[in-house]
Structure 1
Amino acid sequence: DCKSQYGPCGAALEEKIKKSEGLSLRGAKGTLGSLLKNEVGIEDFSIQYKIPDRLVVDVILTKPKFALKKEGQPQFVLIDKEGIALRWEDSTNLPFIETDGGVPNVGEIAQSREIFALNLMYDVFSAYEIQMGKITDDSLVIDMEGGLTVLFPLEGDKDVLTGSLALILAKLKLHPQDSRINVREIDLRFKNPVLR
């Protein structure tokens, strides 16, 4: 049996654990210990013997911060705060970015531009509860509420970029609906933000 803090272990981990079936108690415990020690995405684990002949494995999975999704692919790869791909999932409540490029395999580190975009997406998610962004043409594109689109560069100072967005949105909300310009796009890729 294998459990994590989120419930039963994933199918991939269960499959690896099944390889220790049929071994002696000591052999199975040793095999599981070395397997779990080297497994990406496992922070800690314990193995307990349960009478009559069962080993119970409890794992603490590394907490993901965000996710990446390849365009047209149904699954998400969960990424930790360091940018390391932890595991594949069918769904997520984390902020995520869809990309037309490749996504890292489990154990690999995402590209620096993807990590920058994911951190931006995380900040936007925290402030405005927008869960999804998309990397297209060297830009992070986020569709906000009310039909507003925001374009971010894939490098720079994320605090300046998110601060600029907050300031622009606050200024737009400050003016009465009938007197303000109809802004559909905020482009933060330039030194001076462009409103269209």
Structure 2
Amino acid sequence: MPNSPLRQLKETDFLAKGSERHVFTLDDSGRVLVKVMRSKYLRKIRMVDDRSFFGWLKIRRAYALFRREQKALSDVMLRAAIREDMPPVLSFRGYILTEKGLGQLVETIRDADGKVAPSLSEQLQAGPLTPSQIDALNEFASRIYDWHVVAHDLGPKNIVWNAEDGRYILVDGFGDRSIIPLKTWNRRLNNRRLDRAFREMAETSGLDWDRAERRFRHG
């Protein structure tokens, strides 16, 4: 049976570059994004034999980020199925094979004009948040705790405004990076990590975080 051709990701579809991945739009509609690992993570596995034990370990390590995120998102979506509610994270659409390696498919969040939605970081750079934006950010924080979302990077650049639903959602930085995923197993430990993440966000963004109430105060 012939192999399926790999999806070619065009440079004209390049959207963003992170410390670990590159992001491309998948088609002209721009409704789906594909995330691929940067080449520095894949060089060591280009000639690796996946049939060997150590070769397979190298491959798993190269794609450890994908596997951690998949686990975290799967747990959140299980809660969504029980609660019959949309979680405070983006939708995962599966995987695709590309010439740049395995690609992770996710939904694109758009603003009211159909453009790529602004991140919280971009909103903060544009000026102080409005009272309604702070209220929406507090709703986001409350849901992140309630849904037991495990996130290793809860920075403003990973939080995006979903104009269609009128809410903030987390689009990146999921997953427990510990060898023993205690935050995944224990809500209290994860809440402590979230406390620290929101406090750090406030300190670097000029926001005012109430530790006791777990809310951002209005300026």
Q: Which is higher, the Rg of structure 1 or of structure 2?
A: 1
Q: What TM-score results when the alignment is normalised by the length of structure 1?
A: 0.27
Tell me which of the two structures has the higher relative contact order, counting C-alpha pairs closer than 8 angstroms and 6 or more residues apart.
2
Q: What TM-score results when the alignment is normalised by the length of structure 2?
A: 0.25
Q: Which is strand-richer, 1 or 2?
A: 1
